[in-house]
Structure 1
Amino acid sequence: MKLFIDTANVDHIREIASWGVLSGVTTNPSLVAREGRDFMAVLREILAIVDGPISAEVVSTQADDMVTEARQYYELSHNIVIKLPATAEGLKACSRLTGQGVKTNLTLIFNPNQALLCARAGATFVSPFVGRLDDISTDGIQLVRDIAEIFTYHGITTEIIAASIRTPGQVVAAAKAGAHIATLPPAVFHQMLKHPLTDAGIERFLKDWESVRKQG
């Protein structure tokens, strides 16, 4: 399973990219608003850091406007993936952009029917929201599992991005459920590295090494 980072903070992207684990980036208007920066400037900086799919979400609600907005983003780089909502207008825009060779990521997916419609409209990626479903006591990982089963059975090549990931446990569960990609906030990347036995092992090694060094 590939790992994307879900943020518009360029410093965080640069840090996690330095680990050599990033395959792509997802952003959305809320994330960009938190940074208080020009979206196009942020996209240019991200493109200079990560050589992979960079999802840029439209803010328009009508298909014609979505396509116009998408073309502006896509002109920056062919690594740009246009993030569209799983709505009727989003499907229209997806179909048109796919016909023009533009990759799309259909987002805010909360049931398998939405994912199937998006895939048939030509979506490159679909993004089921795991954490937001768990927030309302619904099994978000089961949604990923259901979509993966449907896509596999019917030979659908659209990739599944497990989105709205909140914990390292959800990363493992999404991988086991068949997600091709998980997009994670920076904090979850750091949490994935942590284990008390790792810390204890490093501390023990350093103490042993220091003891050996003092003995000459």
Structure 2
Amino acid sequence: MSSGSPDKRRKMESALNQLKKHTVVVADTGDFNAIDEYKPQDATTNPSLILAAAKMPAYQQLVDQAIKYGIAKGGTEDEQVANTMDKLFVSFGLEILKKVPGRVSTEVDARLSFDKDEMVAKALKLIALYEEAGISKERVLIKLSSTWEGIQAGKELEEKHGVHCNMTLLFSFAQAVACAEAKVTLISPFVGRILDWYKENTGRKSYEPHEDPGVLSVTKIYNYYKKFGYSTVVMGASFRNTGEVKALAGCDLLTISPGLLAELSQDHSAVTEMLSVEKAKACDLEKVHLDEKTFRWEHNEDRMAVEKLSDGIRKFAADAVKLETMIKEKRLTCPCEKKKSFPNRGEIFHFLLFS
């Protein structure tokens, strides 16, 4: 016997389940229970999370092992600290990969954001550390800032080395176009951070989902990519409310916090596919090409994107400096040769998964 009419069954279905029919839902969380519940495919780390984790007693074995590695590599103090930093980032990535079936994103030092060659070299060094630990580069995404130099580094890594890249701190259409032309694997355009900027810099304090500037930005990027057949995948990120999420139903991937996932699971309103390849093909968009000069001008014309990109780079760079300072201090007292119990893996995942 039927459990009810089709209309009633649809009303009972959560907005989250409806959303999953249109897009890949990724849990943007460090909550271990939420990770088990929502089965995320991928995870990421960033300098801020590594810094915070490295200060906690539970993670000292990882820190000590990384310091021991850096000392063993030799060189100047700065070289040893740099090697320690690389080892520490990869060590956390390795632990995460034991939990998730997909890929981990490991970020290149934000202080290299304007040096293409140094970003490439750092990325290859990180990949080598993963491979030394038995992890194929196919399971790693290298995170790069979406500066012109970062995008060109991504292009070289993808073309010449087969290294997959995740372009982060992406706020402008110019950045998105350049990433598509570089044929990088994935971009992470922000939604909520764009909304934050508009609230802070205009007299307007609220937006409906269909007019949310972050939603409009990602929608335009998605439509442009699909209309012109680019292979780069779009993962909307940084949501402030469920309205933003539902307004981007159909995007390749959406990474969503546990709080918003819970709201969506309790929401039984209809979720409509807002983005699709078919709709994108019908959009009135013109294909553009951006050389370096054009990219810099177009990006510069977007005040929001310029400010949010530079702010993001500065904050990650500042945390990297703090982490280096902590490592230098610990090198003086590190019991590198002493054996300690390994930190509880669940604690590591709880703190680091899905930044």
Q: Classify the TM-score, shorter chain.
A: 0.7 to 0.9
Q: Which has the larger radius of gyration?
A: 2
**CA distances 1:92-126 after superposition (whole Å, capped 9, x unpaired):** 21111101111111111112221010111121111
Aligned residues between the structures:
190
Q: 2:267 & 2:225 partners in 1: Cα distance? A: 35
Equivalent pairs: percent with the same residue? 33
CA contact (8 A) 2:184 2:232 kept: yes
Matched, 1:3 2:77: no
CA distance in 1, matches of 2:45, 2:240: 16
The one-letter code matched in structure 2 to 1:167 is N
Q: Which amino acid aligns with 1:113?
A: A
110, 115, 126: which one aligns with 1:73: 126
The CA distance in 2 between the partners of 1:21 and 1:167, in whole Å, is 21
Mark the CA change 1:194 to 1:45 in structure 2 (over 3 Å): closer, same or farther: farther
Gaps of 5+ in 2: 1-22, 60-87, 199-211, 269-355
Counterpart of 1:35, as a letter, is A
From 162, 165, 168, the equivalent of 1:107 is 168
Q: Deviations over 1:143-162 (max 9, x none)?
A: 11101111111011211011
Q: Which runs of 4+ in 1 moved over 4 A?
A: none
The residue number in structure 2 matching 1:183 is 255
Q: AA paired with 2:154?
A: C
Q: CA RMSD in A?
A: 2.2
**CA contact 1:74–1:81 (8 Å) conserved in 2:** no
Please state whether the residue corresponding to 1:49 is helix, strand or coil: coil
Q: Which residue of 2 aligns with 1:57?
A: 107
Alpha-carbon distance change, 183 to 74 in structure 1, aligned in 2, over 3 angstroms: farther
Provide the secondary structure at the position in 2 that maps to 1:66.
helix
Mapping 1:8-157, distance limit 5 Å:
9=30, 12=31, 14-36=32-54, 38-59=88-109, 60-61=112-113, 62-75=115-128, 76=130, 77=135, 78-99=138-159, 100-137=161-198, 139-157=213-231
Q: Scaled by the length of structure 2, what TM-score is found?
A: 0.49
Distance in structure 2 (CA, Å) of the matches to 1:171 and 1:23? 19
In the alignment, structure 1 segments of 5+ residues that lack a partner are 197-216
Cα distance in 1 for residues equivalent to 2:165 and 2:144: 7
Q: 1:171 to 1:72 in 2, by over 3 A?
A: farther
Match of 1:206 in 2: none
- Which structure carries more helix by proportion? 2
